[in-house]
A and B are shown apart, each in its own frame.
Chain A
Amino acid sequence: MIQFFNASVETDNRFLLQDINLKITKGEFVYLIGKTGSGKTTLLRLIYMDLLPKKGNVIVDRFSSSSIRRKQIPLLRRKVGVVFQDFKLLRDRNVFDNVAFALRVVGSPRRKIKSRVLSVLTQVGLHHRRYQMPDKLSGGEQQRIAIARALANEPFILLADEPSGNLDPEASNGILDLLEDINRKGTAILMATHNYNLIQKYPHRTIMLEDGKLNENAKLN
């Protein structure tokens, strides 16, 4: 489903990622850990092809970084959901419209938009808050909206870049419970995190980036 073959990214003659080989299979839950600047975000960007490797190849579903055309990148991104530490919500529209936005911009029919939005909002437990503005919600709730938006187009994998980075422990646990639930329903999860407590509480395959190199047998200190 996702495979890296000796993928390298460099900038100013310095490797951000070096010879990465990685395979994530369907429905898997994987943690990506590493120090700040170790290349976690860069690796995620390679998956949704916001960045293309300088060397090697990244295969995501039926798309290959070495042969993908610019026009195909939006099609790839409809199959990959992404959430960030800072939520990236649109402050000028309510919860419903934030989620519906992901469907509108890909040209989904109106009827489908309504039912799909209500469905994902129910899944993240915010159906009752659909007419609230994001700023009126807690951090945990805002992250849930971001997750709902990422799920709107039914991706096969959800990339989460420090999704609990701005949340208190209780809200973080809530997000992990939600991600576990999403994963149980068949969506693969790749979560970049610093929060080792969460990894211990919700154990899954953990990979580590150290100075741009991947260590498949990461040990938590």
Chain B
Amino acid sequence: MNFFYIIKEGILGFKRARLAVTISVISIALSLVLVGIFAIVAQNMAGVFQKFYRQVQLEVFIDPALAISQVQKLQQKIQKHYLVDSVIFVSPEQALSEFEKDFGADLVAVLDENPLPPSIRVILKSGESRITVIQDFVGEIKTFDGVDDVVFQTEIIKLINEYSLIGIIVSISIGLTIFIIATLLIFNTIRLTIYARRTLIEIMKLVGATNFFIKGPFIMEGIFQGLFGSLIAFGLLWISNYFIKGIFATILAVPYQYYVILISIGVVLGFLGSYFSVNKYLKY
């Protein structure tokens, strides 16, 4: 088996069936662009949910009589928990200024004093969405000395959980549909390029070429088609992502792994598409 023969014939296949192969490469590119666009949208959607989760905070109200050293000890104790990302001490003055900023009311003018207690704001690690787990943690904090009360916005988490579940189900359904369509499209276009050369396969069989020798160039060509198609898709996605990021700065950057996966999908689908298509003609 001459490996160079297979590579050479695989490349020559491009030249010999120029139109069919060009159409096939473009179809692969467009199919993978669809897959890529979906992956980027899904990634950004996941990013948005992560942002929401990061906003989930616990407000731990503490005894105003606690000394600074005691507050620091309490902070460290809370910080050690695996659910906690960070803790911030909010003094009564800071709380008052935040309140006035949010609600525009001058509390001191009405009550003659600042009624807000000091607190420790606990930011949870992103992704923690199990309400029961958070509730257990809240219960645990409540037992700590110097803690008066803990406020936790259960409803917000419930809402985010609900929407993210819908998001996941919709994403998986759309993603799978797009992937199946892309796969069928790629398989079909490759099959057509091979069908157009069935006489070639027939002659190869007649003159005694082994199945491996017949398949080799077609599979190589399929791999090349997948590779070129996915490289074009990569180029298109990269350029459009670059420009969109210029307009919407909040769009997440696409990690390079996405492109590696995209190109791998192209190559694998090119391989499988040509393998199964050419096999159809090789019963004997």
Contacts and interface: CB of A to CB of B under 8 A. Distances in A.
A binds B: yes
Interface of A: 48-52, 70-71, 73-79, 82, 88, 90, 92, 101-102, 104-107, 149-150, 152-153
B207 A77 contact: yes
A49 B284 contact: yes
Interface of B: 1-2, 5, 16, 199-200, 202-211, 213-214, 284
Given A78-B207, A92-B16, A105 B2 contact: no
B208 A75 contact: yes
8 contacts: A70-B211, A71-B210, A90-B199, A92-B16, A106-B207, A106-B209, A107-B5, A107-B213
B133 to A, nearest CB: 60
Given A49-B284, A50-B284, A107-B1, A74 B203 contact: no
Contacts of B213: 105-107
Given A90-B199, A90-B200, A107-B213, A102 B284 contact: no
- Per CB-CB distance, the 8 closest pairs between chain A and chain B, nearest first, are A78-B208, A105-B209, A77-B208, A102-B207, A74-B208, A74-B210, A92-B16, A105-B204
Nearest to A104: B5
Contacts of B206: 48, 77, 82, 88
Contacts of A79: 208
B162 to A, nearest CB: 58
Main secondary structure, interface of B, reads helix
A52 B284 CA distance: 9
Contacts of A150: 207
Contact of B284 (A70, A82, A88): A70
Contacts of B210: 71, 74
B207 A105 contact: yes
A153 B208 CA distance: 9
Task: Name the residue among A51, A74, A78, A82 with the largest chain B CB count within 10 angstroms.
Answer: A74
A76 B210 CA distance: 11
A78 B213 CA distance: 14
B281 to A, nearest CB: 12
Given A49-B284, A75-B208, A106-B209, A101 B203 contact: yes
B200 A153 contact: no
A101 B1 contact: no
Nearest to A149: B207
B203 A106 contact: no
A114 B213 CA distance: 20
Contacts of A153: 207-208
Contacts of A107: 1-2, 5, 213
A124 to B, nearest CB: 16
Contacts of A73: 284
A152 B206 CA distance: 12
Contacts of A102: 203, 207-208
Task: Name the residue among A51, A73, A105, A149 with the largest chain B CB count within 10 angstroms.
Answer: A105
Contacts of B199: 88, 90
Contact of A152 (B205, B207, B209, B211): B207
A76 B208 CA distance: 7
A77 B1 CA distance: 18
Contacts of B203: 88, 90, 101-102, 149
A50 B201 CA distance: 13
A51 B283 CA distance: 10
B16 A74 contact: no
Contacts of A104: 5
A149 B214 CA distance: 17
Contacts of B16: 92
A150 B206 CA distance: 9
